[in-house]
A and B are shown apart, each in its own frame.
Chain A
Amino acid sequence: MLDELRQTCRRLLQDGAVQAVIGYGRASPDDPAVPVFISKPEDVDQLVWDDRCFANLTKYLSRKEVLSLGKLAICVKGCDERALLVLEKESQIDRSQITVIGLACDGVGQPRLAKCESCDVHMPRRADIVVGKATVPDADAGAKRYAEIEEFLKRTPQDRMAYWKKELSRCVKCYACRQVCPMCYCRQCIVDKNRPVSISTSATLKGNLAWQITRAFHLAGRCVGCDECTRACPAGIDLRLLNLSLAKAAEENFGYRPGMDPDAEPIIGAYSQQDHEEFIR
């Protein structure tokens, strides 16, 4: 599969179809896989693909340091690919200008990340080229996807608030959650607005609650559940739980899963006569 990936990328670069490939690479076999940007056909041997390729590379489609490389090809896992559809729906990318290389994936991490346990997109579905073959997801994989939040919601509201206060008190506001998130593409984030200040920049419990609640709401119906924020957080805050809660609400109330159905309109950006909230009709 790795040979196939490298050959595909070599061909794309040689033919001039793209000027750079965003993929995974590593300096030595023991190193973690890191994002790499390959511009020369002879460098494709730097590319790797295995279950230590965590990063959701679609984030780089909003980084000017990468866009400056020219026309791009990008490697995506099934979960990451969902972000591309949301970005396209939100007019952030011109899908026709990007070559998407889908990577068949049976999950990442040892043990597997939580998101992989209930993954139902082992094979990217809308990629231009798909490399490799993956196992078919368990029939009940999807049914398990809200198991953690359902379990969490069994706790009392007081208990849950105590949990979040304890967790969020560790937040240092490094904004790694925001910087890794493909959906956080705002030119100026609301926390960076200082005339006037909307969200306190202090890493106090109050300021942290304000930041994380605001961020969660901005991701409602948009987060594709790649869990990069959870992986990136140096304070070990399980942001996945917040995201799952919003994903569950979006699916239950609107039958919508971000990045799954190209024909479905984004719930935040669409108006429907069938909306069950009266005030909007």
Chain B
Amino acid sequence: MSELLAKKDIVRLVDQWLAAGRRVAGPQCVNAGDPHRQTDLINYTWLTKVEELQLDGFVRPTNTIKEVVFPRHEKLYGYEFKGKRIELVPAELPTAEQIVVGARPCDAAALHILDAVFNWDFKDEFYNRRRELTTIVTLACSKHDDFCFCTSVGAGPCDKRGSDVLLIPLDGDRYEVRCLTEKGQKLMAGATTTSSETAKEPEGPPTRFTLDALGEFLAAGYDRPEWPAVTRRCLGCGACAYTCPTCHCFDIVDEGGASGGARVRNWDACQFTMFTAHASGHNPRSDQSQRQRQRIHHKFQIYPDKFGELLCTGCGNCSRNCPVDMGVLPVLKTIAAKS
């Protein structure tokens, strides 16, 4: 037996959520009607009306859902100068319930992976509060492209990690609904119909490399001579990190004027020269190949050693959005072949 939901009923549900004042994010074509653009740009965005929601017809959005729990810019606390004193003003914690609809499994799984690092030695209350307030409705992928490699990193088009509800396309008009958490059950209560029909789980992309081979290469030494050659074309921007569902580095800066300001955290990326620049002027990762090596080691060795899961869901965004078509996939394919 299964629970089913018609596509038009999802639209109706989203409409209800919006009418009830909930924040709802979902994939949207953000440049529709722009005369200057040649291709559709699909991004997860906060919806203002249900008509903006676009569930299918593309592989995956260009950005990720990490923004709903880990915004690119966040105030940690304010400060005010009061004569010779400095008064700290706590930032208000978020209170709005939020729903992500039509999330890709590679996005939702990333939040599950990130829970570990945001609750490691320090419990990040901003992240945790947003996470508690968020319900994620995932849509299993029926399409993939040459950049997708979820199946090579232990994920896949029906990955359950991080999802509260998983929708699997049954036919053009209906989805099988799998409520995976209490939050998901609550969200879908009364909306679905029971049926004897079940959806076939879609197949993912072919395997691009094996984790065993990759692990062997990384374990065989840090200073492998292959790094400069396989990463030379990297230009050192942050497009990979900022469109990665699992990259979570941030920088803390003070922004303000003579009377006060705020301490904020902004996304940061390990491919920037400045990321590791010391105040002395010394930079322990002075070469792009060292920064690329760090990125791969962090995702495929350091994070799994520490938290038990890869810091990658195989979404392919890093390569898809790379100005020189690099990202991690070509690097992983090359080094896995060299192990």
Contact = CB atoms under 8 A, between A and B. Distances in A.
Contacts of A204: 73
Interface stretch (A62-70, A126-134, A245-253): A62-70
Interface in B228-284: 228, 232-233, 235-239, 241-243, 251, 253, 255, 264, 266-267, 269, 272-274
A180 B289 contact: no
Nearest to A204: B73
Interface stretch (B99-107, B113-121, B178-186, B320-328): B320-328
Contacts of A7: none
Nearest to B265: A202
A84 B202 CA distance: 50
A234 B324 contact: no
Nearest to B34: A238
Contact of A203 (B228, B235, B266): B266
A79 to B, nearest CB: 16
A175 interface: yes
A151 B36 CA distance: 11
B54 to A, nearest CB: 15
Interface string A85-126: 000000000000000000000000001001000000000000
Interface string A203-242: 1100100000000000000000000100110111010110
B152 to A, nearest CB: 16
A203 B73 contact: yes
Interface residues of B, number: 44
Q: Which DSSP category, helix, strand, loop or mixed, fits chain A's interface?
A: mixed
Given A30-B146, A192-B274, A59 B235 contact: yes
Nearest to B253: A201
Contacts of B62: 234-236
Given A174-B241, A202-B264, A234 B288 contact: no
A65 B289 contact: yes
Interface stretch (B14-22, B37-45, B130-138): B37-45
B124 interface: no
A200 interface: yes
Contacts of B243: 172, 174, 234
B205 interface: no
Interface in A154-186: 170, 172-176, 178-180
A173 B235 CA distance: 15
A202 B73 CA distance: 6
A260 interface: no
A142 interface: no
A247 to B, nearest CB: 16
B238 A176 contact: yes
Contacts of B287: 64-65
Given A35-B324, A64-B287, A234-B321, A175 B237 contact: yes
B251 A201 contact: yes
Nearest to B228: A65
Which of B38, B232, B326: most chain A Cβ within 10 A? Answer: B232
Contacts, number: 115
A238 to B, nearest CB: 4
A36 interface: yes
B194 interface: no
Contact of B37 (A31, A192, A202, A238): A238
B326 A179 contact: no
Interface string B133-168: 000000000000010000000000000000000000
Nearest to B39: A236
Interface residues of A, number: 46
A37 interface: yes
Contacts of A197: 253, 255
A136 B107 CA distance: 48
A197 B254 CA distance: 10
B31 interface: yes
Contacts of A176: 235, 237-239, 323
Interface string B43-77: 10000000000000000001100000000110000
Interface centre among A27, A201, A207, A236 (most CB of B within 10 A): A236
A17 interface: no
Contact of A55 (B146, B272, B323, B330): B323
A12 interface: no
A27 B330 contact: yes
B88 interface: no
B30 interface: yes
Given A203-B72, A203-B267, A238-B37, A174 B253 contact: no
Interface of A: 27, 30-32, 34-37, 55, 59, 63-66, 111, 114, 148, 151-152, 170, 172-176, 178-180, 192, 194, 197, 200-204, 207, 228, 231-232, 234-236, 238, 240-241
Top-6 shortest CB links A-B = A232-B323, A179-B237, A174-B238, A236-B41, A176-B237, A234-B321
Given A65-B288, A236-B37, 13 more contacts: A30-B146, A32-B325, A34-B326, A35-B324, A170-B43, A173-B242, A174-B239, A175-B272, A176-B238, A179-B237, A180-B323, A201-B253, A236-B41
5 contacts: A174-B239, A201-B266, A232-B239, A238-B36, A240-B36
Interface of B: 30-31, 34-38, 41, 43, 62-63, 72-73, 146, 228, 232-233, 235-239, 241-243, 251, 253, 255, 264, 266-267, 269, 272-274, 287-289, 321, 323-326, 330
